[in-house]
Amino acid sequence: MTTTNSVLNMEIMQSIIARYPRKRSAIMPLLHYVQSVSGFVTNEGIELIATLLEIETAEVSAVSTFYTQYKRSATGEYHIGVCTNTLCAIMGGDVILASLKEHLGIENDGVTADGKVSLEHIECNAACDYAPVVMANWEFYDNQTVESAKALVDGARAGNPPAPTRGPNRLVTFKEASAVLAGLDDGLAEEGIQAGIPTLLGLKLAKEGK
């Protein structure tokens, strides 16, 4: 067994598989688990998942390359995604992305030399009511400016990132976020604001009959 797989906890992997009536349904959470250990989806991890699920490695690899949350090379400890879809773009997303590239000295999908921050342009963060939006390890940073985005990445590189606008009271690392996506509870689900006033405005107006 390779060094990569030797640090994967077989008990955890088997517990993930046991959630599903068909073993192959565990592909996605198992990929997130591999990512939570290695920081990205490794070839060794793919092979192990295929063995455990009794399917072809090509089937696991196909899933890992289809969804953008799975990374096939190392990311930063804090992975920053800047929305560049229409609304965020015209509200400043394009400028934020360009400024972060220059500030960090990396291009799209690049990682800083210290391994702390990686950068990705994202088509939509599904938070248009807070445009422009930046995500860090899939947590929301709403109503961003160039200055606040730079403060976010600078704090991340210093090991002290600001708390997300919504969600937990602290920003977890990329590996920790991947563990949550694998279904491992970090106890932070009830922390912070879950849905803000702009998100709930339509519901409020509907209840008022407007």
pLDDT digits (tens, 9 = 90+) for 40-69: 999 999 999 999 999 999 999 999 999 999
C-alpha torsion angle, residues 164, 166, 172, 178 (rounded to 10) = -130
Residues 173 and 80: their CA atoms lie apart, in Å, by 11
Query: Is residue 5 predicted with pLDDT exceeding 60?
Result: no
Label residue 170 exposed, middle or buried (CB < 10 Å: 0-12, 13-18, 19+).
middle
Which residues on adjacent β-strands are paired with residue 120?
A: 81
- Region 117-141: mean pLDDT is 94
Given this model, what pLDDT does residue 41 score? 97
- Place 87 in a pLDDT band, splitting at 50, 70 and 90: very high
**Domains, in order of start, for the chain:** 3-66 (1.10.10), 78-173 (3.40.30.10)
Given this model, what pLDDT does residue 173 score? 97
Tell me the whole-structure pTM to 2 decimals.
0.89
Residues 163 and 170: their CA atoms lie apart, in Å, by 5
Token readout for 58 is 């090509």
Distances (CA, A) of 210 to 12, 40, 195, 197, 203: 50, 48, 21, 17, 10
Maximum distance among all alpha carbons in the chain?
A: 63
Instruction: Give the contacts of 130 (CB within 8 A, at least 6 positions apart).
Output: 140, 142, 143, 165, 196, 198
Given this model, what pLDDT does residue 2 score? 38
Token readout for 76 is 């930063």
Residues 76 and 100: their CA atoms lie apart, in Å, by 14
> How many other C-beta atoms can be found within 10 angstroms of the C-beta atom of residue 171?
21
